[in-house]
Amino acid sequence: MTPHSCFLVSLHLPLPLTAAAVLLAGLAAAPVARSADAAAPAPASTAPASAQRAAASAFNPAIWLILSGGYTQLQRDPASWRLAGFQTGGEIGPGSRGFGLGESELGLSASIDPRFFGSMTVALSDDEGAAVEEAYVQTTALPAGLTLKFGRFLSGLGYQNELHAHAWAFIDAPLAHQAFLGGQRREDGLQLRWLAPTELFTELGVELGRGESHPGAAREKNGAGAWTVFGHLGGDIGASQSWRAGLSLLSARPQGRESSALDAAGNEVTHAFSGRSRTWVVDGVWKWAPEGNAQSRWVSLQGEWFRRQESGTLVADSAGLASAAPYRATQSGAYLQGVWQFMPGWRAGLRGDWLRVGTVDAGANAALLASARHDPSRGSLLLDWVPSEFSRVRLQVAQDRVRAGVNDRQVMLQYQMSLGAHGAHSY
Amino acid sequence: MTKTSRWMGRRVAGLLAGATLALAPWSAAHAELRIVACEPEWAALTTELAGPLAQVYSATTAQQDPHQVQARPSLIAAVRRADLLVCTGAELDAGWLPLLQRQAGNPAIQPGRPGLFEAAAQVELLGVPARLDRADGDVHAAGNPHIQTDPRRIARVAAALARRLAEVDPAHAGDFERRHADFAQRWQTAITRWERSAAPLKGLPIVVQHQGFPYLEQWLGLRQVAALEPKPGLEPSSAHLQSVLATLQRQPARLILRAAYNDGRGSQWLAERTQLPVVVLPYTVGGSEAAKDLFGLFDDTVARLLKAVQP
């Protein structure tokens, strides 16, 4: 698994654009013409009354709203929470203390025409105002198991990244996602997936994009700032069990990617990294329900392992000393979680998080970077009450050992309510 | 598993068909349809109508609540290769079918294409909510989707499905028509038989677990006194069960009905306090030993109801 021997997509401009042009040409030739037959009215005797009733609003997109908020009790000041030794980004950390309104999520989606489906999700919060979570168009008419998505979308690497936060089992992202993906990674660009015509679920995907989301960074350059390739296998074991496993590789070329850290005196400093970042992700999910009936009881096990290699230049304390030196790091992290629905509407969960600072070679900057050799870890317990498909209240208690020598007991109580269109049961 | 070998057989047949295509172009006409049914009753109906002309894969079993299914990898892989999806519609499969359609990379089964067949769109639905408000539970805007408990509606779905099969596979239109005529005749005879033997059930007061039996009630003239779910899709609460108990003291019922996939605890609780028999109906094909096909489903349904009310 040497990342340098890796294959596939050059970051230079012409290839992605050529690929996109070929795909769009394929789409134009896709046999949507037959849909004209299907659009012909059904014989009057079978015309559904419901379809006629729905006609007045038939072209309105599906609309949904997720209301979320809660209460957080943190034993330690969250201002001192840093993944020391990791170059981080995005929205990470345990959040703020006390009552709080989380992100409210507003979404719209609908078929655009016989060739395209569109969806947009906006996260609304006081901190960020309105942030575009996702705004993508997806093809529905490409042949041969191909699906092209473009716009802004949740990257398909690993397992949990592609799920919206309200569909996660736990309230917050695993530490590995916080350290290596800034919590959750979005991409502005293209995603092409191919599903093999086999009984075993076999999926390959490739993404090309702006690469602004961590571990990438905003850049002013032509071409793609990041690419991702991923593959997934999955299937059933009898009627009661199902599984999915995958391998992903993300490559980004951030320029001046800023990471907040604390210096030896506890003051906040910013480091800026430019160079190459490669992340491998191995993911696996296994689910069980008696006879496959998830109504009363089920068990779900999920885990992912991350390994990131970065090499380039780090400007330590970029706003102050601005000391530039070569930087190389190989770091890893993983989590494993299990959730058990023990009776209808009630779930309990347990999650373990581990990060390895690994090898960090910061050259002349070694003294300026936090040098405490501490591997962060965390254990979380969850109790989830789901009175209906549309409402959920969960309590999470975590023992957070992210800071060296510090135990932070975190208690989070969160509600999540879903209004409007019926939510999707993603695997 | 039989469905595995069926798919596998199709692959071999496809290879052979492809290999002989150049020599004998007509051999492609013998290619079988691959059909994914969202619920077992539609898998059984499709098998009746298409017989050896199709391989049928059922996305769910009678032991699974079709509201609760996830778009898991095996289903995506099955839909990827399907020529036709036969689903209930009316939002019964709304939580997972759209995801399967979007993730399968299969243009044939997208909304508006002949490859998507919705059974509920072929019949008149009961329980269309007068107002759409989730305060009333997991209501379905189009009406109650559990149409498979009324054999007369299944007959109408069969007619529409036979036409759709002919549209998707025109080379075998005549076969589908013949098979449908044969099925329709046997089915009509069976309906007459079920209705005759179920005559004593007319007006029978019942308690149901989920609002899943309006079509059966309408067909056999059963009278629903109460439901254990306070609202559709909400688990029976102890407070609500108490109120059901109070209702039953004023309006006695004769039995408690639930589907094979329902959690049995609520109905058991009520049965212990009221001495009413709990009748577990197969609800769909595969829901009981005897419900091996659609005929067995209704034979067994009627037999179980009659047995419960025998003096």
In this structure, the number of other CB atoms found within 10 A of the CB of residue B205 comes to 15
Residue B280 pLDDT: 93
Of A50, A292, A419, the CB nearest to B125: A50
Provide the whole-model pTM. Answer: 0.86
Write out chain B residues lying below 8 Å of A243, CB-based: 73
Residue A367 pLDDT: 82
A359 at interface of B, judged by CB pairs closer than 8 A:
no
A49 at interface of B, judged by CB pairs closer than 8 A:
yes
B273 CA: distance to closest CA in chain A (Å): 22
Of B95, B110, B121, the CB nearest to A423: B95
**Closest residue, chain A, to B235 (C-alpha):** A344
For chain B, which residues score pLDDT lower than 70?
1-31
Residue A19 pLDDT: 58
Asked if residue A401 has pLDDT above 50, the reply is yes
Measure the CA–CA gap between B73 and B24, rounded to whole angstroms.
37
Of B103, B110, B112, the CB nearest to A39: B112
B310 CA: distance to closest CA in chain A (Å): 32
Which residues lie across from B19 on neighbouring strands?
none
**Residue A91 to residues A94, A127, A173, A177, A214, Cα–Cα distance (Å):** 10, 11, 10, 11, 10
Q: Of B265, B96, B258, B233, whose CA–CA distance to A343 is shortest?
A: B265
**Closest residue, chain A, to B156 (C-alpha):** A46
Of B65, B67, B122, the CB nearest to A46: B122
pLDDT range class, residue A370, cuts 50, 70, 90: low
User: Contact, A81 vs A93, CB < 8 A?
Assistant: yes
Residue pLDDT, tens place only, A306-350: 999 999 999 988 888 888 999 999 999 999 999 999 998 899 999
CB contact under 8 A, B112 and A114: yes
Of A146, A147, A389, the CB nearest to B233: A389
Q: Of A216, A189, A218, A175, whose CA–CA distance to A83 is shortest?
A: A175
Between A42 and B124, residue with greater pLDDT:
B124
Residue pLDDT, tens place only, A247-278: 999 999 999 999 998 887 888 899 999 999 99
Give the ipTM.
0.86
Q: What count of residues does chain B have?
A: 311
CB contact under 8 A, B76 and A195: yes
Question: Which chain A residues in 99-158 lie under 8 Å from chain B, judged by CB atoms?
Answer: 111, 114, 117, 138, 140-147
**3-state SS of A119-175?**
EEEEEEECCCEEEEEEEEEEECCCCCCEEEEEEEEECCCCCHHHCCHHHCCCCCCCH
Between B40 and A423, residue with greater pLDDT:
B40
Residue pLDDT, tens place only, A193-202: 999 999 999 9
Percent of chain B as helix, strand, coil, to the nearest 5: 50, 10, 35
Residue B26 pLDDT: 33
Q: Of A138, A144, A148, whose CA–CA distance to A196 is shortest?
A: A144
Asked if residue A372 has pLDDT above 70, the reply is no
Percent of chain A with pLDDT over 90: 67
Dig out the tokens for B119 from the structure.
């059974």
For the ranges A32-46, A146-160, B151-165, B251-265, which has the lowest average pLDDT? A32-46
